[in-house]
Amino acid sequence: MTAAQVLTAAQMRSAEQALFDAGAGASELMEIAAGGAAEWVRRIAAGRSVTVLCGPGNNGGDGYVIARCLRAAGNPVTVIAPFPPKTAAAHEARRRWNGPVTTAGANGGEVFVDCLFGSGLSRPLIAEHAVLLRELAARHRYTVAIDLTSGVASDSGAVLNEGLPAYDLTLALGAWKFAHWSLPGRALMGQLRLVPIGICEVAGAAQVIQRPHLSSPGVDSHKYRRGLLAIVAGAMPGASLMSAAAAQRSGAGYVKLFARQADPRTPVEVGTDTSPLTEALADRRIAAVLIGPGLGRDEAARVMLEETLLRAPALVLDADALILLTPAMLGRDMPLLATPHDGELGALCDNFGIIATARRDRALALAKVSGMVVLAKGPDSLVAAPDGRLALGMPSPSWLSVAGSGDVLAGIAASRMATGVDPFTAACEAVWLHGEAARLAGPAFTPSQLAERVSEALAACL
């Protein structure tokens, strides 16, 4: 199994069925999954009391196995089960527990383990069980969810009940689910850990963006071989300068501004070409172009976008360029990456006639219709490719919610494309480097300070 794959509930059921078809029994698989989770809980509890809340399905069965393993390790264990088991494996797990079970809440304890509902839940908890869950979580010092936090939809991360508790730790069983990496549910899950059970790689599964493996320039490299990135500056050149600062630290050998006029704020190490855009773009040494940050939305900006779309060898579209873009502008076959935030994603979907509600579905549909790789940026960034590939970003520091952060991300992505990687890979690398730079920058950074830490983030990938 690849530890990075993310499965829908249906994909997870199929993957488990493949194990059953290969000879594994449901109870055997439950023992493996819950036994691995129990080891996590045992270490956390360190001999202290544990309360396990069991539901009627196999998630509840996991709870009985966890309780039995903890009891064998010497932990005082209380099992609460408002429902009787409904699956054969859960029945067998309760039989093996062979201990007391109560149907109501208990006094407080040290560690609470939520095994009420797992990935099969698609409707809100009834009020009685939502209250029980909240009360038990509130009465314990440390809270653990098994597979998913009860009350969160597996495939979307939607929170199905108000006032659900936040957990300290969520133990994903077998594979990551979309809820583990999607807001708002992700915010309730605390730390995330994966318990492997032998699930094989699933064809077409989404992936979690991992730290990229990059390499230093070759001994015979030079600035053009490393990649010349052109950034088209517009009405508000400060945003382009922010992108340039990040791009210089992301691998490209040469970053150049195509501007209407020289800006005295431009660092000496950033070249500026003030010739007409058509002439500037004719330079065959250009490896990639970024347009959009600070571009403006007037007719002049529209003409600049159209000229760039006609001539760029590879292109990153950001900010204003995404608002100006129409389907009629896309005709050439070239590497193309769009980096919209949610508002820009909505505008693009309107322009391209896409009707979809979920953010993930919007990004995938836009990628397929337009031929662009779509980096839907935000607190739960994702990357969608025209061929259906999907990658989900890990949580990044919330300090990234600052003006200029998107310009930095666009500069990183464009720089990675200038080095020669494809748009999907460049987008994934950019998401990781952006988040790592934010972690290195600490709290309350400016976008300039964020850009300055990108080279340190890149160094962690060498």
Q: How many CA atoms lie less than 13 Å away from 51 in the CB half-sphere?
A: 26
Model's pTM, two decimal places?
A: 0.94
Pick the last residue of a domain from 201, 236, 253.
201
Domain match, 196 and 227 both: no
Domain match, 179 and 241 both: no
Q: What is the pLDDT along the chain (462 residues), one digit of tens a residue?
A: 356 999 999 999 999 999 999 999 999 999 999 999 999 999 999 999 999 999 999 999 999 999 999 999 999 999 999 999 999 999 999 999 999 999 887 677 899 999 999 887 889 999 999 999 999 999 999 999 999 999 999 999 999 999 999 999 999 999 999 999 999 999 999 999 999 999 999 999 999 999 999 999 999 999 999 999 999 999 898 999 999 999 999 999 999 999 988 888 888 788 899 999 999 999 999 999 999 999 999 999 999 999 999 999 999 999 999 999 999 999 899 999 999 999 999 999 999 999 998 999 999 999 999 999 999 999 999 999 999 999 999 999 999 999 999 999 999 999 999 999 999 999 999 999 999 999 999 999 999 999 999 999 999 999
Domain match, 171 and 51 both: yes
Domain match, 142 and 252 both: no
Domain match, 279 and 153 both: no
Q: Which residues contact 6 (CB under 8 A, 6 or more apart)?
A: 175, 176, 177, 178, 180, 181, 205, 206, 207, 208, 392
Tally of structural domains, the chain: 2
Alpha-helix runs per DSSP H in 119-272: 127-138, 223-226, 237-248
Domain match, 165 and 295 both: no
Domain match, 46 and 16 both: yes
Token pair for 75: 């932990």
Rounded-to-integer distance, Cα 32 and Cα 53, Å: 19
Q: Which residue has the tokens 């979580």?
A: 137
Domain match, 263 and 167 both: no
Rounded-to-integer distance, Cα 346 and Cα 391, Å: 20
Domain match, 160 and 244 both: no
Rounded-to-integer distance, Cα 290 and Cα 270, Å: 15
* Domain ranges, residue 453: 223-459
Domain match, 150 and 266 both: no
Asked, for residue 23, whether it belongs to a domain, the answer is yes
Q: In what order do the strands lie in the sheet with 77-80?
A: 77-80, 50-54, 109-115, 140-146, 169-173, 191-195
Asked, for residue 210, whether it belongs to a domain, the answer is no
Length of the chain: 462
| Domain harbouring 197, CATH code | 3.40.50.10260
